[in-house]
A and B are shown apart, each in its own frame.
Chain A
Amino acid sequence: MTRKDSSLSRRHVLAGAAAGAAVGSLGLPAILGAQPAAIKVGILHPVTGPLSYSGTQARAGAQMAIEEINAAGGIKSMGGARLEALLADAQSRPDVGAAEVEKLNEAGAAAIVGPFASGIALATTQAAARHGIPHIVDVGVVDQVVTRGLANTFRFGPGLKTIVDTAIGNLIKINEGAGKPARTVMIVHEESAFGSGMATTLNAELPKHGFEIVETIKHANPTRDFSNIVLRVQARKPDLLIPSNYYDEYVLFARALQQQRVAPKAIYSILGGGASSYKFLKEFPQAASYVMDCNHWFDPRKAQALALKEKTEKRNLFFTYEVFLNYSCVYLLADALERAGNARRDAITAALAASTLDRHVMPYGPTRFVNGQNTGAQPVTTQILDRDIKVIFPLAFASGNVVYPIPERLG
């Protein structure tokens, strides 16, 4: 009895598959046939805990890309398979991030996108490597993320060294373009990985280019009061001020600078928490004006980027770098799936390694991974001009002309 049933059902299945194939060959959408299995994608970010703002933004970016890709017919080479997001929360902790990778592994994730912070990325890429899960790192700027020889790790965005080198290069061009008005520099940075790493490199590099660093101030997270730091800026009167902070501290710092009417020739942030943030611009238009920032930024020449910006704002979210980087990472993955033609992890990894994707919103050119790092990835220098964030470097796609030294902006 049982046997008969099973043979019967098998025949049904075969018939269904044949019908599906027939429909497919006629060029009709495969609605009548069985839908191909959805491809599970781990979207892993710190959506609770101290990093929850960035984590939530990042998740939103990834989700928007998944929606778009599914609406456009899914992964075509796999019969229009849809992407299914497995949302995971690293709770702003590396150990929880690693545990979530295990969970994603068992839920059958074909790949993982995330996890924003460097410390978490170190743990999650390693946990993913144990299962051969391809892991696209969205931000995680600390260089160790890609220097440990993990074959499954692909960092889409630039690393800290690239960011600081580019920032210095652009700064020199800006300063030389204006006849070298700035010589003295003061650095104010937060104490964790990106701020400290940046300060070390700046202290090594800037003096070689004729700048004198008059003082470097490292501050804790959180810092409740920036008045004294501003007092010291006032006393030193640097030509250039280079801040690198998280958003909360950046807000307090910028407000204190404005209150004390401190006006250096330029404020040039590197991975600054606020200077390339539409939120900061909206809430502190005066303090934001003319501030420059070298940071992750989208390519304003790309229609896809502008459409994404509009879509993000429609959802009442600010268009931050977490959003467009993660959006791009999901497209990177979708392209790899398309070329792999199946959702096997090793196939995806191989496809990612050979990736030459241009359909992302960043100004990186086609992706090219060397040892897990997207070599085209670079930051952009922006300046807040006319109450908008304009790209001023690279010149190839600048949307505004640098204003430097900055005019009197406080009055």
Chain B
Amino acid sequence: MLDPIILLPAAINGLTMGAVYALVALGLTLIYGVLHIINFAHGSLLMVGLYGAFFLHRAGLDPYLALVVMVPALFFTGYALQWSVIGKASHGSDQNILLVTLGASIVIENLALYFFSADTRTIDTPYSFEMIDLGVALVPLPRVIAFAAALVLAAVLWFLIARTDLGRAIRAVAKERQGARLVGIDVDHIFAMSFGIGTACLGAAACLLLPMFYVSPHVGHVFVLVAFTVVVLGGMGSFSGALIGGLLIGVTESLGGLLLGESLGQMGIFLIFIATLMFRPSGLFGSRLS
């Protein structure tokens, strides 16, 4: 029943959607790699970014220009959240971090519900229906932009971590907290910086996602499990891993949907996830930070 002609465009759709997953997962992999925590608040923070971009658009700012505002804004949000709430309340134990990020996500989500109501909101941009002809498929312009941006963001993060003093400190903390403390690194500050940078990535992801998606108080749930899958597949803490993992998951989901049906096809993502954990728990590219 399957028409082979649509396999190629479907793969391209998968790649562009995968780039979106990579965008969401890049920040998560950094947080995971450094703090070794399962950050339940990641989806809610993406939602915060989407609302930010949405209201800036309403105020007349194009979502792509809103990057300049949203990236620093979410950096400070993330920094403050880790510094003043997560770090303080969790006493450094894993199960407590889990509870605190969970609590934070409940608070953030329902603040959005309270202030913005449950409306699903979308924006209309002049380029929403602009199509790029790739020969075998027509791809909406916002997706092409998101794809390019995912590559750029992964490169920027790689440079930041591999080539700067801050990056060296982050890597040191990721590898050995006590040792880093002994050599005079302010570990709490580095934790907050990592969380801030990870959250800033969500600011970028939100601006790139908004022209092709919607925002509602619950939109975080739509992406958060996929983001975890991407992080595990790529190797926790690996940016190139998150990028390629995202693309792989996107293609898997796309082809899985074609072969097994859109409903059952979702299983492909989780089967890959399980297989990775069982056979290659360090991910395709190993963990770069720790």
Question: Taking beta carbons and an 8 Å cutoff, which residues of A are in contact with B?
Answer: 47-50, 52-53, 55-56, 191, 215, 217-220, 222-225, 227-229, 231-232, 234-235, 247-248, 251-252, 255, 258-260, 279, 283-284
Question: Taking beta carbons and an 8 Å cutoff, which residues of B are in contact with A?
Answer: 1, 3, 5-6, 9-10, 13, 17, 20, 110, 113, 117-120, 122, 124, 128-129, 131, 138, 140, 212-214, 216-218, 221-223, 226, 253-254, 257-258, 261-263, 266
Knowing A224-B223, A228-B254, A259-B140 are in contact, say whether A219-B122 is a contact too (CB < 8 A). no
Cβ-neighbour of A218 out of B17, B140, B261 (below 8 A):
B261
Knowing A53-B119, A220-B263 are in contact, say whether A225-B222 is a contact too (CB < 8 A). no
What would be 25 A-B contacts, judged by CB atoms less than 8 Å apart? A52-B118, A52-B217, A52-B218, A53-B119, A55-B118, A217-B261, A217-B262, A220-B262, A225-B13, A225-B17, A227-B10, A228-B254, A228-B258, A229-B262, A231-B13, A232-B258, A235-B5, A235-B6, A247-B120, A248-B214, A251-B120, A251-B122, A258-B129, A259-B129, A259-B140
CB distance from B74 to the nearest CB of A (A): 21
How many Å lie between the Cα of A284 and that of B266 in the bound state?
28
Please give me the residue from chain B that is nearest to A225 by CB atom: B17
Please give me the residue from chain B that is nearest to A410 by CB atom: B129
Please give me the residue from chain B that is nearest to A48 by CB atom: B113
How many Å lie between the Cα of A284 and that of B120 in the bound state?
13
Cβ-neighbour of A53 out of B120, B129, B223, B263 (below 8 A):
B120
How many Å lie between the Cα of A53 and that of B140 in the bound state?
29
Report A-chain residues with C-beta under 8 Å of the C-beta of B266. 220
How many Å lie between the Cα of A376 and that of B218 in the bound state?
37
CB distance from A254 to the nearest CB of B (A): 10
Cβ-neighbour of B120 out of A55, A228, A248 (below 8 A):
A248
Please give me the residue from chain A that is nearest to B129 by CB atom: A259
Which of B217, B218, B222, B253 has its CB near the most chain A CB atoms (within 10 A)? B218
Report A-chain residues with C-beta under 8 Å of the C-beta of B3. 232, 235
How many Å lie between the Cα of A284 and that of B217 in the bound state?
21
Cβ-neighbour of A227 out of B13, B218, B261 (below 8 A):
B13
CB distance from A108 to the nearest CB of B (A): 28
Knowing A225-B13, A229-B262, A255-B128 are in contact, say whether A48-B110 is a contact too (CB < 8 A). yes
Please give me the residue from chain A that is nearest to B117 by CB atom: A56
How many Å lie between the Cα of A260 and that of B257 in the bound state?
19
Cβ-neighbour of B262 out of A219, A247, A259, A284 (below 8 A):
A219
Cβ-neighbour of A231 out of B9, B140, B223 (below 8 A):
B9
Report A-chain residues with C-beta under 8 Å of the C-beta of B212. 255
Report B-chain residues with C-beta under 8 Å of the C-beta of A279. 119
Knowing A53-B118, A247-B120, A259-B138 are in contact, say whether A219-B216 is a contact too (CB < 8 A). no
Please give me the residue from chain B that is nearest to A214 by CB atom: B1
Report A-chain residues with C-beta under 8 Å of the C-beta of B217. 52
- Evaluate contact between B6 and A231: CB separation under 8 angstroms: yes
- Evaluate contact between A52 and B258: CB separation under 8 angstroms: no
Please give me the residue from chain B that is nearest to A231 by CB atom: B6
Q: Which 8 A-B pairs have the closest CB atoms?
A: A52-B118, A219-B262, A53-B118, A227-B13, A218-B263, A222-B222, A231-B6, A225-B17
CB distance from B200 to the nearest CB of A (A): 23
Report B-chain residues with C-beta under 8 Å of the C-beta of A52. 113, 118, 217-218
CB distance from B251 to the nearest CB of A (A): 11
How many Å lie between the Cα of A219 and that of B256 in the bound state?
12
CB distance from B102 to the nearest CB of A (A): 16
Report B-chain residues with C-beta under 8 Å of the C-beta of A223. 262
How many Å lie between the Cα of A402 and that of B211 in the bound state?
33
Which of A222, A227, A235, A258 has its CB near the most chain B CB atoms (within 10 A)? A227
How many Å lie between the Cα of A223 and that of B222 in the bound state?
8
- Evaluate contact between B10 and A231: CB separation under 8 angstroms: yes
How many Å lie between the Cα of A228 and that of B11 in the bound state?
9
CB distance from B245 to the nearest CB of A (A): 16
Report A-chain residues with C-beta under 8 Å of the C-beta of B17. 224-225, 227
Report B-chain residues with C-beta under 8 Å of the C-beta of A55. 118
- Evaluate contact between B131 and A259: CB separation under 8 angstroms: yes
Report A-chain residues with C-beta under 8 Å of the C-beta of B20. 224
How many Å lie between the Cα of A251 and that of B216 in the bound state?
13
How many Å lie between the Cα of A220 and that of B120 in the bound state?
18
How many Å lie between the Cα of A8 and that of B256 in the bound state?
82
Report B-chain residues with C-beta under 8 Å of the C-beta of A49. 218
How many Å lie between the Cα of A48 and that of B9 in the bound state?
39
Report B-chain residues with C-beta under 8 Å of the C-beta of A215. 1
Report B-chain residues with C-beta under 8 Å of the C-beta of A284. 122, 124
How many Å lie between the Cα of A259 and that of B129 in the bound state?
5
Please give me the residue from chain B that is nearest to A49 by CB atom: B218
Contacts A215-B1, A251-B214, A283-B124 aside, 20 further interface pairs with beta carbons under 8 A come to A50-B218, A52-B218, A53-B117, A53-B120, A55-B118, A219-B263, A223-B262, A224-B17, A224-B223, A224-B226, A225-B13, A225-B17, A225-B254, A227-B9, A228-B6, A228-B13, A229-B262, A232-B3, A235-B6, A258-B129
Report B-chain residues with C-beta under 8 Å of the C-beta of A191. 263
CB distance from A193 to the nearest CB of B (A): 14
Please give me the residue from chain B that is nearest to A246 by CB atom: B120
CB distance from A10 to the nearest CB of B (A): 48
Report B-chain residues with C-beta under 8 Å of the C-beta of A224. 17, 20, 213, 222-223, 226
